[in-house]
């Protein structure tokens, strides 16, 4: 009854993770500044129970580099202090991967926990708390009995705070799950507010009567990795004070494991949650214009003192819309599905024991390529970080390469696929050989949008288009290097990591791919072109090309053609452009023949160019160089801006990878090169990221009436 003080059961859950592909020094720094001191502090308070989750990515690294940490965890599990949660081993967004992969990833982490800690987990940490209503069937089938989602998920179903002091059951086709609501209030109190405020909040709960259960579930990196939190939590002693306060107030607060709660306390009822994630994630998923409107509307609600009462009815977007907001994310996702389809076809044939072992490794590579971090972007760099995207492609391409070993002879071969790869309603063309994957979009300029070099597991077109983000408007309102006096949640802080970022806010009106066909005016400069602030004279970019594919003895011939127009003065002149790619069965090069037909009655002059984007960042900026061959051979840093006349070869050389990507032409070209640099948000502030280098070869051409002019190029990938 109200007024009677009761003991609050406090479910304290902490999730720790590092992305697949993150730098080793980041793992080490996070371990030293956060994971180790957190656990050491917790061991000093053995009566404080905690529910911990570590992604398989992090556990693999610890087993290899810090095995003593796993021993500490096992001892704490055996003492009854810790409950360990399972999840997808490589921390995928579960709703967007196939059901078989959901089961496989969860079983992999559950088996690891069983072997390393002698514990059978029944709870699951849901990556980024991305919930969709179909999940209970898959998760229950994997042995999961409960999971933690945000209290916002429940409020979107119409519940209020007073109804969230426990857990609920949900189901799909009769498969049930217990759902615990993680308190947003606690997530903003811990560890950013004085411990006394937390204790006051818990005492208020205890006075409400009943059997209150309150859940906290959030990132472990808040305790040492996020800016300012190591000093706050350890040097200034916040975490020690927090655990001590839990012990000193044990008459009011009882720390519990979730599995104990579902055994001893009945559910508050049945619930069906809508699709949701945490509120910030749902705002990030919105297109930039809607992002700004959402932010402005929330600000207005706060100014009119309506936010607390009504903000729950103001929802952002849907996680899957990251796949619409960022085509680069969608391409990775559809690549993952495509690789999965090829692996599934292998599973239907009889395999030897050695081949079965290889198939296990292939699936593990695919699972690594499902790690969520590179597929979205918010306050964390995510998709904008080239090394995270590069890791996804590396593992997915490795899975393909190993799959080739099971289904193909070693000698030269070509596979040609024509289907709607990116699920946009139009068919793409994929040509695969032992060393290359060549992905083309006939409906969008006949562009090359993925080029994989399989032996190194690299997509040489793994770049980003420069686009407006909702937070870009805040650049003018921020001061570079500004520091705050207090420790804040990363959701509440914005810092600018270097000056001059506002000068990089150029936005592309077309996707940064390769074999992009440009017709420019004479007034176009390298600067205006690099800023995407110029006038295109033709109607070839982003427009459909006719496609004809011929499989020949030595390889595949791809004929792309568009009957388009260009502006010559004030005249709209008909012009036909053909580009013919010849992809051989062996080797790592292909030829591109351009043929331009002037359909006008008189000779015309044009400035025609072909844009290449090349991304080679595995060795970092310091180990890669642009090179240009012309009258003299030149080398430059990867993020340089260059203009070179009469060039016959150009490309990028990465010494650490031992790889060179070159384009050669038999007609000397004027070469422009410049970096694609984006301004993005990370947990430490707004920052610049190099994505790729544009290399634009162009020619002043005289096109006689009715007869073609040809240009021949060869793109070659070679190991140094």
Catalytic residue annotation: 128, 219
Q: Could you check whether the bond before residue 191 is cis, i.e. omega within 30 degrees of 0?
A: yes
Q: Can you tell me the distance from the alpha carbon of 715 to that of 587, in angstroms, rounded to the nearest whole number?
A: 11
Q: Can you tell me the distance from the alpha carbon of 173 to that of 144, in angstroms, rounded to the nearest whole number?
A: 16
- Give the DSSP letter string of 290-349: HHHHHHHHHHHHHHTT-HHHHGGG-----GGGHHHH-HHHHHHHHHHHHHHHHHHHHTTS
Give me the helix-helix angle, 386-407 and 327-346, nearest 10°: 20
- Which helix (H) or strand (E) segment holds residue 538: the answer is none
For 56-75, the three-class secondary structure string (H helix, E strand, C coil) is: HHHHHHHHHHCHHHHHHHHH
CA distances from 251 to 3, 435, 565 (A): 16, 67, 81
Q: Can you tell me the distance from the alpha carbon of 464 to that of 388, in angstroms, rounded to the nearest whole number?
A: 13
Instruction: Calculate ∠ Cα 608-614-615, nearest 5°.
Output: 155
Which conformational region is residue 620 in: left (phi greater than 0), alpha (psi within -120 to 50 degrees), or beta? Answer: left
Residue among 225, 191, 218, 217 at smallest CA distance from 22: 225
Tokens found for residue 670: 């004027």
Tokens found for residue 671: 């070469």
Tokens found for residue 599: 């359909």
Residue among 113, 139, 95 at smallest CA distance from 55: 113
How would you classify the pairing of strands 589-598 and 571-584? antiparallel
Q: Can you tell me the distance from the alpha carbon of 289 to that of 467, in angstroms, rounded to the nearest whole number?
A: 12
Q: Can you tell me the distance from the alpha carbon of 575 to that of 143, in angstroms, rounded to the nearest whole number?
A: 63
Q: Can you tell me the distance from the alpha carbon of 19 to that of 22, in angstroms, rounded to the nearest whole number?
A: 5
Tokens found for residue 157: 């179903």
Q: Work out the number of other CB atoms within 10 angstroms of the CB of residue 260.
A: 14
How would you classify the pairing of strands 123-125 and 168-172? unpaired
């Amino acid at each position: 009854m109200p007024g009677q003080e009761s003991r609050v059961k406090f479910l304290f859950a902490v999730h720790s993770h590092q992305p697949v592909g993150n730098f080793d020094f980041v793992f080490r720094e996070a371990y030293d500044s956060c994971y180790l001191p957190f656990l050491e502090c917790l061991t000093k308070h053995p009566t404080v129970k905690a529910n911990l989750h570590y992604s398989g990515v992090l556990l693999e690294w610890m087993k290899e580099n810090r095995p003593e940490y796993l021993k500490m965890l096992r001892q704490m599990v055996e003492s009854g202090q810790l409950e360990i949660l399972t999840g997808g081993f490589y921390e995928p967004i579960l709703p967007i991967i196939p059901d078989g992969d959901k089961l496989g990833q969860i079983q992999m982490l559950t088996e690891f926990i069983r072997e390393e800690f002698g514990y059978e987990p029944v709870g699951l940490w849901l990556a980024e708390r991305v919930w969709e209503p179909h999940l209970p069937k898959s998760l229950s089938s994997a042995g999961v009995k409960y999971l933690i989602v945000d209290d916002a998920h429940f409020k979107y179903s119409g519940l209020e705070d007073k109804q969230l002091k426990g857990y609920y059951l949900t189901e799909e086709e009769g498969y049930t799950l217990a759902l615990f609501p993680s308190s947003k209030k606690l997530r903003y109190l811990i560890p950013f507010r004085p411990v006394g405020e937390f204790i006051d909040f818990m005492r208020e709960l205890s006075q409400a009567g009943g059997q209150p259960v309150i859940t906290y579930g959030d990132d472990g990196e808040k305790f040492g990795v996020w800016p300012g939190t190591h000093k706050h939590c350890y040097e200034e002693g916040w975490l020690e004070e927090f655990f001590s306060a839990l012990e000193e107030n044990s008459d009011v607060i009882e720390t519990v494991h979730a599995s104990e709660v579902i055994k001893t306390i009945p559910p508050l009822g049945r619930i069906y949650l809508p699709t949701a994630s945490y509120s910030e994630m749902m705002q990030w998923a919105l297109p930039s214009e809607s992002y700004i409107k959402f932010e402005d509307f929330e600000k207005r609600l706060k100014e009119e003192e309506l936010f607390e009462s009504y903000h729950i009815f103001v929802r952002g977007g849907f996680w899957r819309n990251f796949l619409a907001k960022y085509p680069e994310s969608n391409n990775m996702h559809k690549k993952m599905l495509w690789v999965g389809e090829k692996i599934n076809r292998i599973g239907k044939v009889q395999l030897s024991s050695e081949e079965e072992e290889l198939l296990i490794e292939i699936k593990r590579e695919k699972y690594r390529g499902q790690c969520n971090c590179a597929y979205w972007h918010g306050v964390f760099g995510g998709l904008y970080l080239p090394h995270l995207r590069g890791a996804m492609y590396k593992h997915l391409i490795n899975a393909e390469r190993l799959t080739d070993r099971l289904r193909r002879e070693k000698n030269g071969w070509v596979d040609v696929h024509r289907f709607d790869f990116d699920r946009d309603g139009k068919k793409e063309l994929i040509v695969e050989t032992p060393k290359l994957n060549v992905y083309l979009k006939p409906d969008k300029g006949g562009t090359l949008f993925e080029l994989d070099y399989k032996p190194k597991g690299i997509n040489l077109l793994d770049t980003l288009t420069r686009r407006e983000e909702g937070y870009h408007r805040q650049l003018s309102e921020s001061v570079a290097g500004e520091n705050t006096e207090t420790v804040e949640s990363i959701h509440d802080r914005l810092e600018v990591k270097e000056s001059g970022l506002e000068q990089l806010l150029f936005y592309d009106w077309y996707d940064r791919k390769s074999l992009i066909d440009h017709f420019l005016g004479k007034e176009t400069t390298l600067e205006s072109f690099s800023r995407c602030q110029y006038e295109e004279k033709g109607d070839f970019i982003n427009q459909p090309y006719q496609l004809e594919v011929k499989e020949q003895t030595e390889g595949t011939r791809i004929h792309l053609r568009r009957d388009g127009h260009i502006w010559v003065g004030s005249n709209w002149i008909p012009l036909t452009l053909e580009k013919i790619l010849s992809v051989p069965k062996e080797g790592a090069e292909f030829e591109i023949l351009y043929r331009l037909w002037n359909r006008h009655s008189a000779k015309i002059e044009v400035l025609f160019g072909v844009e290449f984007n090349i991304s080679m960042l595995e060795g970092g900026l310091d180990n890669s160089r642009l090179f240009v061959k012309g009258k003299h051979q030149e080398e430059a840093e990867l993020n340089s801006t260059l203009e070179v006349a009469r060039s016959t070869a150009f490309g990028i050389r990465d010494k650490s990878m031992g790889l060179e990507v070159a384009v050669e032409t038999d007609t000397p070209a004027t070469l422009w090169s410049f970096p694609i640099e984006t301004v993005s948000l990370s947990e430490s502030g707004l920052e610049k990221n190099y994505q790729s280098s544009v290399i634009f070869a162009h020619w002043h051409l005289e096109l006689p009436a009715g007869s073609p002019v040809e240009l021949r190029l060869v793109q070659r990938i070679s190991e140094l």
